[in-house]
């Protein structure tokens, strides 16, 4: 048996705009996905027959990335992330699956986190009809605070570049890491609306909006400028300015139609106890995030407003192997 874990992520600023080459800043969170794989006499997932068409991320990694031809596999998944909630659950699944399968078939090799991030991005793009930025998979694989942009961002440590052929043409992103000061008194509190938000559908919706109303590209560009300001504040440890950037980013995301009444309800409920609060991820439902010095109070506000809270420290570790047994 081989077991691996990959964390979820939270985008502080820049979602959607990153698909069009603008920068995005994301941090890994403590919750994530654990995948266990063992050889078996039949293909199974969670004790049921494995149906590749229903699980495109997993089947892409098994068949297209590894070109696996060994014995059938028994695959088990444990997740502490809300599904379709903007927390990168599919990216965490892809990364944990890739790490576990590599450990099973190539146990002598050390886990290459950059290769894992590329593998996860390929799986995400395959499942999302060619539209996927590497933000979720890079943050989940590498851990910490990750910056993704169309070009290398000053003040970050460049890690790798990623290119993808999308329906809109070729896209290239630069993936870097930013070292942030040790933050002891600020937390992230995520609030799940209880309504799923499939990333592919939301990304497609923004694409259609930009085609029908090209002037809306100004909102995408504004998100990019806000993200750069937020990154500068994050690098210097100015969490008040980080919060302001989060608020400004949410305003622009609302303008491109990716918020929802349920998200706005949770954001309104928490803004009085937050440095900043916004939707995180694709939107349309899913999760919001609060940057706060009073996480318990914000979690209570989310629950009272009908949401499900999840408290996390800033920037957990990345993907990792948990166990290998013969």
Q: Is 137 left (phi over 0), alpha (psi -120 to 50) or beta?
A: alpha
Chain centroid to CA 248: 20
Rounded to 10 degrees, the C-alpha dihedral 115/154/136/179 comes to: 90
Partner residues linked to 33 by β-bridges: 6, 79
Catalytic residue among 64, 136, 161, 185: 136
State which H helix or E strand residue 32 sits in. Answer: strand 24-39
Please state, in angstroms and as integers, the Cα–Cα distance from residue 39 to each residue in 1, 76, 164, 205, following that order: 7, 12, 33, 41
State which H helix or E strand residue 141 sits in. Answer: helix 135-142
Note whether 11 and 283 are within 8 A (CB). no
State which H helix or E strand residue 258 sits in. Answer: none
The DSSP-derived string for 213-243 is -GGGHHHHHHHHHHHHHHHHHHHHT-HHHHH
Look up residue 206 and give its DSSP letter.
H
Could you tell me which of 206, 131, 116 has the C-alpha nearest to residue 167? 131
Rounded to 10 degrees, the C-alpha dihedral 265/271/274/280 comes to: 40
Half-sphere exposure of 164 (CA within 13 A, CB side): 28
State which H helix or E strand residue 167 sits in. Answer: none
3 state SS of 120: helix
Using CA of residue 194, residue 134, residue 225, residue 239, what is the dihedral sign? Answer: positive
Could you tell me which of 135, 130, 139 has the C-alpha nearest to residue 150? 135
Could you confirm whether 64 is annotated as catalytic? no
Any idea which residues carry the catalytic annotation? 136
């Amino acid at each position: 048996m081989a077991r691996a874990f990959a964390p979820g992520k939270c985008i502080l600023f820049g979602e959607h705009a990153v698909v069009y080459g603008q920068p995005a800043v994301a941090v890994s969170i403590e919750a994530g996905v654990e995948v266990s794989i063992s050889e078996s006499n039949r293909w199974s997932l969670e004790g049921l027959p494995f149906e590749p068409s229903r699980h495109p991320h997993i089947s892409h990694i098994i068949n297209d990335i590894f070109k696996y031809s060994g014995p059938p596999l028994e695959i088990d998944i444990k997740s502490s992330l809300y599904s379709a909630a903007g927390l990168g659950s599919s990216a965490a699944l892809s990364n944990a699956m890739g790490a576990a399968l590599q450990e099973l078939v190539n146990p002598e090799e050390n886990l290459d986190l950059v290769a894992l991030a590329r593998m996860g991005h390929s799986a995400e793009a395959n499942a999302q009809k060619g539209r996927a930025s590497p933000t979720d998979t890079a943050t989940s694989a590498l851990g910490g605070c990750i910056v993704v942009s169309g070009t290398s961002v000053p003040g970050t440590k460049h890690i790798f570049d990623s290119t993808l052929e999308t329906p809109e043409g070729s896209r290239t992103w630069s993936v870097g890491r930013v070292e942030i000061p040790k933050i002891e008194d600020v937390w992230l509190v995520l609030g799940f609306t209880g309504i799923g938000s499939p990333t592919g559908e939301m990304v497609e919706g923004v694409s259609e909006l930009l085609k029908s109303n090209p002037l809306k590209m100004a909102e995408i560009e504004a998100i990019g400028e806000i993200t750069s300001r937020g990154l500068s504040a994050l690098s210097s440890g100015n969490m008040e300015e980080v919060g302001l950037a989060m608020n400004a980013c949410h305003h622009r995301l609302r303008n491109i139609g990716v918020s929802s009444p349920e998200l706005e309800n949770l954001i309104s409920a928490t803004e009085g106890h937050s440095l900043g609060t916004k939707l995180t991820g694709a939107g349309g439902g899913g999760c919001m995030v609060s940057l706060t010095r009073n996480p318990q109070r914000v979690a209570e506000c989310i629950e009272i407003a009908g949401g499900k809270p999840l408290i996390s420290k800033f920037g957990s570790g990345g993907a990792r192997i948990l166990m290998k047994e013969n």
